Amino acid sequence: MDDVIETGRCNVPALGFGTWQLEGDEAYDAVRAALEVGYRHIDTAQAYGNEEEVGRALADSGVDRDEVFVTTKIWKDNAAPRDVAASTTESLRRLGMDRVDLLLLHWPADDPPLEETLAAMTELLDQGQTRFIGVSNFPSQALDRAAHLAPIVTDQVEHHPYLAVDEIKSVAAEHDLFVTAYSPLARGRVLDDEVLGGIAEAHGKTPPQIVLAWLLQAGVSAIPRSRSPERIAQNFDIFDIDLSDDEIARIDGLDRGRRLIDPPFAPAWD
Ligand SMILES: NC(=O)c1ccc[n+]([C@@H]2O[C@H](COP(=O)([O-])OP(=O)(O)OC[C@H]3O[C@@H](n4cnc5c(N)ncnc54)[C@H](OP(=O)(O)O)[C@@H]3O)[C@@H](O)[C@H]2O)c1
């Protein structure tokens, strides 16, 4: 499996580290641990309240800033053009960086129209405050629309063995975008799965490792989160896994359309 995803526009380390619900020292320590074992892609957001700790952990790590792909996300209430610019400036200040690698719109916003938000994000791209822009939680039709409006590189969406995202994947492929899987471990629910357990045993690995390998072998970027240094390291120790077509088909067969992140403001899903 490739450890880097390459599209015509962008190269990204396929395995990233998620930081939702990590705050204060816990966020700092987890990001330090992730960088220590080799993660070079970190996912944060304005809404996570940890941009400052993420930035400080990276600065203190001794890892060169240019070696790490840093993503942050604009909260949907900041989708108006003026707020896109102002809130990104604030994110950069908290991160202690002059640019991020990827700036995402965290959720589709009711207001203003999408073209205005994406135009403001494209302006930040042109000004060098981010290397790439993208969207998150966009269903396939909205993704198609966004890709026609702006040079986005990804849609970050919930995706794990219990939730396939085939429509989104096919729209992404049409536009040469990559898909980023959030909650890739189904927030821990993959641990007790019998099918995954059997495959894990055959490879001398754990179910989370098998799931991450399954995503990366499909060309999907994954951003698991853990607060434990052991599990952070375990989730990165996957690059020697080679799943067979039969194993991939068995994991694909676990799909049951089970969505775990579905707030009241979520769009109508495909
Ligand atoms: N764009 C969006 O709207 C959005 C929404 C949700 C998430 N995300 C991003 O995606 C990231 C990951 O999603 P997530 O945090 O929801 O869930 P996740 O990564 O699917 O699962 C995290 C859970 O799995 C446990 N875990 C992790 N590795 C493990 C291992 N090897 N063995 C056993 N348990 C393990 C963690 O517990 P421990 O910490 O105790 O190890 C935690 O409870 C987030 O942190 C965030 O960056 C984005």
Q: Which CATH superfamily is domain 4-252 in?
A: NADP-dependent oxidoreductase domain (3.20.20.100)
If you take atom 14 of ligand 1, which residue's CA is the nearest one?
Answer: 183
Which pTM was predicted?
A: 0.98
Distance 236 CA to ligand 1 centre (A): 13
Burial annotation 109-121 (CB, 10 A radius, 16+ → b, else e): beeeebebbbebb
Any ligand 1 atom below 6 A from CB of 267 = no
Q: 57 to each of 26, 36, 50, 101, 237, how far by Cα in Å? A: 11, 11, 11, 17, 21
Helices (H) and strands (E) in the chain, counts: 10, 10
Length of the chain: 270
Q: For residue 270, what pLDDT is reported?
A: 76
Q: For residue 117, what pLDDT is reported?
A: 98
Residue ranges of alpha helices (H) inside 7-131 are: 24-37, 51-61, 81-95, 114-127
Q: For residue 116, what pLDDT is reported?
A: 98
Distance CA 13, CA 247 (A): 24
Return the best residue to mutate from 72, 102, 185 for the ligand 1 pocket (most ligand atoms within 8 A of CB): 185
- The three-class DSSP label of residue 262 is coil
Contact 129, 99 (CB under 8 A): yes
Q: Give pLDDT < 50 ranges for the chain.
A: none
**Which residues are known to be catalytic?**
48
Task: Look up tokens 């039709």; give the residue.
Answer: 141
Contact 234, 37 (CB under 8 A): no
Q: 126 to each of 71, 131, 133, 184, how far by Cα in Å? A: 17, 9, 11, 32
Token pair recorded at residue 16: 């990233």
**Backbone CA torsion sign across 32, 33, 34, 38:** positive
Mean pLDDT of the chain: 98
What are the extents of the domains in the chain?
4-252
Return the best residue to mutate from 76, 182, 196 for the ligand 1 pocket (most ligand atoms within 8 A of CB): 182
If you take atom 22 of ligand 1, which residue's CA is the nearest one?
Answer: 187
Q: Which tens digits make up the pLDDT trace of 7-40?
A: 999 999 999 999 999 999 999 999 999 999 999 9
Residue type at position 236: F
